[in-house]
């Protein structure tokens, strides 16, 4: 089984985010969920983004790096939207990463070090009509990652709502969330098997 460092989105640690972490634990994985907002949870995305801007995106990323310091090197880093920033940074810069799952965001590689590390598998998930994922350049960054990285996969889901995998948000899409979860669990099983056979 995998050990996972999972970072929340801009709403904070919502009940739906925590429920998704619990689903990964139910499948047998160890899941760490550091709170980058130190207890703040928001009812509107705009408020969460404004809070993140007040903290500073660099500080949010640093909080994620600090959370990883006391954990083993062979983690799978998973981020939802805002949480992709620390997840992707750690996967690309902290030696020993077992994999990464980037949900509804993807940072251009040149902002994080330039090259995805060899041998680190990665999945990117997003909606094909999501103006946040598509309009902010994340979709193009994900496509570029797939073109340059043999171990990268991009999965697109129909719809235009952001944060479709969190069951506590109005943007939740049960069918797409279930498919995403199945794909992530399959990825985790494969990454765990590869690690144990190495």
Integer distance in angstroms from the first to the last C-alpha of the chain? 14
State the average pLDDT over residues 26-45: 95
For residue 191, the model assigns a pLDDT of 76
Residues in contact with 95: Cβ distance below 8 Å, sequence separation at least 6, in sequence order? 73
For residue 137, the model assigns a pLDDT of 87
For residue 192, pLDDT over 80 is answered with no
Long-range contacts of 18-26 (CB under 8 A, 24+ apart): 19/167, 19/168, 20/165, 20/166, 20/167, 20/181, 23/181, 24/184, 24/185, 24/188
For the chain, what is the domain count? 1
- Are 162 and 132 spatial neighbours (Cβ–Cβ below 8 Å)? yes
Contact 12, 41 (CB under 8 A): yes
Domain hosting 35: range is 3-197
| Angle at which helices 57-69 and 45-55 cross, to 10° | 80
The answer to whether 28 touches 101, Cβ cutoff 8 Å, is: no
Read off the pLDDT of residues 82-127 as tens digits, 9 standing for 90 and up.
999 999 999 999 999 999 999 999 999 988 877 999 999 999 999 9
Distance set, CA 11 to CA 51, 65, 92, 94 (Å) = 9, 20, 25, 26
Q: Say yes or no to pLDDT of 128 above 60.
A: yes
Summarised one tens digit per residue, pLDDT across range 142-173 is: 999 999 999 999 999 999 999 999 999 999 99
Angle ∠(89,47,158) on CA atoms, nearest 5: 65
| Closest CA relative to residue 40, chosen from 32, 30, 50 | 50
Q: Which CATH number does the domain housing residue 140 bear?
A: 3.40.50.1820
**pLDDT at site 197:** 55
Give dist(CA 111, CA 46) in Å, integer.
24
Range 18-33 average pLDDT: 97
Confidence of residue 136 (pLDDT cuts 50, 70, 90): confident
Tokens standing for residue 154: 């991009």
Instruction: Return the percentage of the chain with pLDDT > 90, whole number.
Output: 87
Q: What is the pLDDT of residue 35?
A: 97
Mean pLDDT value of segment 171-189? 97
């Amino acid at each position: 089984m995998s050990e996972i460092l999972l970072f929340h989105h801009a709403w904070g640690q919502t009940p739906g985010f925590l429920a998704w972490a619990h689903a990964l634990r139910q499948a047998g994985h160890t899941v760490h969920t550091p709170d980058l907002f130190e207890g703040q949870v928001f009812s509107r995305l705009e408020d969460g983004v404004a809070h993140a801007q007040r903290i500073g995106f660099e500080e949010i990323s640093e909080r994620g790096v600090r959370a990883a310091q006391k954990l083993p090197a062979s983690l799978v880093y998973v981020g939802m939207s805002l949480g992709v920033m620390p997840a992707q940074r750690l996967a690309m810069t902290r030696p020993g990463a077992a994999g990464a799952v980037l949900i509804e965001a993807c940072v251009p590689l040149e902002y994080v070090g330039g090259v995805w590390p060899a041998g680190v598998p990665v999945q990117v998930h997003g909606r094909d009509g999501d103006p946040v994922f598509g309009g902010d350049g994340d979709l193009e960054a994900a496509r570029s990652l797939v073109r340059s990285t043999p171990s990268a996969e991009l999965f697109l889901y129909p719809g235009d709502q952001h944060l479709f995998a969190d069951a506590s948000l109005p943007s939740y899409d049960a069918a797409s969330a279930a498919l995403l979860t199945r794909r992530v669990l399959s990825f985790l099983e494969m990454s765990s098997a590869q690690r144990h056979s190495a």
